[in-house]
């Protein structure tokens, strides 16, 4: 039997369903199926058949013939564990929502963080062992693990190695804490997908009176701008939502459900409150819940094709922006040219997605050009984090 050992460095906390157990960390039951799929897809992409003696079992999800175990050392409890609880309605991490509304720490999903994790692979086949060894660093770099992995949680790399793959990344100072890392990811993705509309007024705790100037920050969703760059003959869905569920007069523009291309959950909140930062021409203050479905209840959730990969490297923090082309192709039939049903509980209306997908790598490239070489990523209360952009591709 052949043995491979890999040492992983953990860069961001992993959200673990067994956080209360000693040693809760990466699970081989998550890592191995992902690695199997990664290897099989590599062979398919190259037009090759995977060796039959590498495969075990039958069924829809083939597995490769090796065993894996994971052991982590140096749990960093003081760094991470206490950051997840900050009163029931004030979650510090903007891209993680499972703890909203929890009253006690015992109810919360927690984070786990270790200095290092060791992965051991046991295999009888020399050629399979060699192939796993050749692709393992790339696999770990292109994937995160645990819950909310596309938004940067559960980021690991093999020891200190950084992949040579040239993809865009954001750069933060190494002294930024974990909360700021996820604030940057939230700001970057929200400005891309739905736009930024922050309004915050600091108040005196004793009198509840306003203190200082109100923080206002508004930026349109870049995907709306991108449609003009590529000269598409349709506009995104926000205008249609306002016309359908608020008393706005319709126009003749060709509206499509665009934001589904960047990930989709089964429902979301949509509304228009009077904005003190922009009171001119607003609708009456109101908010509605809009649920999304398909005719046969087929699509419950579409994963975002963009994964954010924070890596602490030397004297900086890099947040790599990874476009998952395979995920895009897997979801292609579910999102392009598809009808979605929108409902506010009173009426139902249908809006279609465009008939063809956008070029996601080009979208990120143009978005980074739009942001220029650096920008300020604000949190909800107006605190900025300085961010630089390295907008490179292969």
Residue 136 has pLDDT above 50, yes or no: yes
Q: Do residue 207 and residue 119 come from a single domain?
A: no
- Specify the pLDDT at position 55: 94
Q: Do residue 247 and residue 150 come from a single domain?
A: no
Largest pairwise CA distance in the chain: 73
Of 112, 127, 158, which one is at a domain's C-terminal end? 158
Of 137, 158, 179, which one is at a domain's C-terminal end? 158
Residue-wise pLDDT for 214-266, tens only, equals 899 989 899 989 988 998 888 888 888 878 877 677 777 888 888 888 877 65
**Integer angstrom CA distances of residue 391 from 64, 107, 178, 322, 364:** 36, 41, 23, 12, 9
Of 91 and 237, the structure prediction assigns the larger pLDDT to 237
**Exposed e or buried b per residue across 159-170, where buried means at least 16 C-beta atoms within 10 angstroms of its C-beta:** eeeebeeebbbb
Average pLDDT over residues 131-148: 93
Q: Do residue 144 and residue 265 come from a single domain?
A: no
Average pLDDT over residues 307-327: 90
Q: Do residue 56 and residue 194 come from a single domain?
A: no
| Domain, as residue range, for 50 | 2-158
Q: Do residue 299 and residue 178 come from a single domain?
A: yes
Q: Do residue 144 and residue 101 come from a single domain?
A: yes
Token pair in block for residue 294: 């398909």
Indicate the number of domains in the chain.
Answer: 2
Q: Within 10 Å of residue 94's Cβ, how many Cβ atoms?
A: 18
Average pLDDT over residues 98-110: 53
Q: Do residue 154 and residue 234 come from a single domain?
A: no
In a domain, 164, yes or no: no
What's the rounded Cα separation, in Å, for the pair 241 and 244? 5
Q: Do residue 177 and residue 142 come from a single domain?
A: no
> Are 308 and 150 spatial neighbours (Cβ–Cβ below 8 Å)?
yes
């Amino acid at each position: 039997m052949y043995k491979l050992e890999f040492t992983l460095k953990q860069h961001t906390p992993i959200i673990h369903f067994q956080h209360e157990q000693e040693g809760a960390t990466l699970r081989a039951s998550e890592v191995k199926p992902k690695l199997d799929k990664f290897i099989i897809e590599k062979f398919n992409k190259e037009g090759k058949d995977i060796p039959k003696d590498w495969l075990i079992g039958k069924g829809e999800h083939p597995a490769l013939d090796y065993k894996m175990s994971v052991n982590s050392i140096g749990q960093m409890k003081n760094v991470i564990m206490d950051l997840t609880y900050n009163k029931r309605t004030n979650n510090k991490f903007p891209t993680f929502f499972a703890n909203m509304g929890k009253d006690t720490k015992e109810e919360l999903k927690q984070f786990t963080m270790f200095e290092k994790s060791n992965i051991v692979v046991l295999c009888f086949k020399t050629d399979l062992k060699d192939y796993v060894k050749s692709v393992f660093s790339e696999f770990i770099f292109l994937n995160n693990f645990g819950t909310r992995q596309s938004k940067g949680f559960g980021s690991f790399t093999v020891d200190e190695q950084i992949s040579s793959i040239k993809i865009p990344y954001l750069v933060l100072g190494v002294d930024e804490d974990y909360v700021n890392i996820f604030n940057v990811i939230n700001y970057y993705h929200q400005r891309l997908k739905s736009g930024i509309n922050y309004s915050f007024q600091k108040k005196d705790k004793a009198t509840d009176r306003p203190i200082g100037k109100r923080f206002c920050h508004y930026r349109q969703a870049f995907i709306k701008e991108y449609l003009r760059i590529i000269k598409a003959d349709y506009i995104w869905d926000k205008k249609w939502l306002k016309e359908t569920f608020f008393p706005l007069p319709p126009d003749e523009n060709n509206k499509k459900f665009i934001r589904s291309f960047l990930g989709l959950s089964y429902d979301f909140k949509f509304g228009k409150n009077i904005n003190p930062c922009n009171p001119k021409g607003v609708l009456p203050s109101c908010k509605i819940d809009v649920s999304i479905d398909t005719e046969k209840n087929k699509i419950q959730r579409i994963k975002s094709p963009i994964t954010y990969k924070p890596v602490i490297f030397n004297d900086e923090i890099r947040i790599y922006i990874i476009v998952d082309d395979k995920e895009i192709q897997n979801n292609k039939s579910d999102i392009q040219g598809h009808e979605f049903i929108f409902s506010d509980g009173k009426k139902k209306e249908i809006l279609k997605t465009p008939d063809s997908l956008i070029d996601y790598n080009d979208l990120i490239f143009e978005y980074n050009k739009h942001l220029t070489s650096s920008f300020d990523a604000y949190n909800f209360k107006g605190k900025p984090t300085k961010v630089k952009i390295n907008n490179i591709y292969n």
